[in-house]
Structure 1
Amino acid sequence: MAQLNGVEDHPDQLPGIALIGSEPLGPARPQDGHSVLLSVRVHAVHGVDAATRQFPPRHAGSLDWLLPTTPDPYRTVVTAEAGPLRYIEWSVQSDFGAWAVLQRTKRRSATLVLAGQWGSHDSGVAIGHRPLRPDEWAAAERLGALG
């Protein structure tokens, strides 16, 4: 349901979100003119609730692309939570945006475990264990993700 209607409508499904590593076993087969069937071999399943145990912490990089600090009247922000997991998504007129799953670890501390971005011509997703710096925590709090 979260895939179809959005995580904000089904926050109870946050702990079950996972990134699956796979490879195609052959070409995609057309089904009904609007979809295809693709057989894959699954190599790994990384659940968001286990990411901090599966990956060592990394402190590199900036999360500015994910946690915008300047106000924008065209930006839409959506948040949801389930236990220690927090979901945040923002977009600008649905043309481009970003989303993330944060895991609260203790008071005023959180870890980025899953993140993605999309635009008109590309998209991407990553899983890992990236503790937030204090300024990143503050930006996530301003967007309503850690309230």
Structure 2
Amino acid sequence: LLLFSETPQVFYVSEFGWVASVIFLYLLQYTLSSAGERRFLTRKALIAPLIGIPLCVFYCTFGDVLSNLLWCGMMIVVSYHSIRGLAYAQIQTGTACKMRYFHIGVLCYVAVEYVLWISGCLWPGYSISAPYCWFDLLLTGSLFALLPATGKAVQA
């Protein structure tokens, strides 16, 4: 700011908040998962990079490469762990299977985040009629929906 008399165009305050929230979501996933879940391997979890990597390439054509690599990489990691956790929860019985609600909530968050980014690439603009605005509201709703799912997972 002092050298060039302008703000840096790489990261903004809201982006730091977003990165912090995804790191918190990952830490929550790690904390709620059992040691058996963390060791569980399934091929189903490979869906996360199979979807995330092409979307990352798509996003990089519209925006900053470094930030898109960071964001998509974090979303791939979070979705990978959720798919793995969902597959693990489906073979569990009793209270351990309640973790599936949390993993479904995280996957809904990831899906809405991807759709939000796609809408921002294809239909730029910040008016109330832009799809980005409505997907942003849906994203906020998915975060609120994650609260009861986390409550069920904690009770497990």
Larger gyration radius, structure 1 or structure 2:
2
Could you say whether these structures have the same fold, taking a TM-score greater than 0.5 normalized by the shorter chain as the test?
no
Query: More helix per residue: 1 or 2?
Result: 2
Q: Normalising to structure 2: TM-score of the pair?
A: 0.27
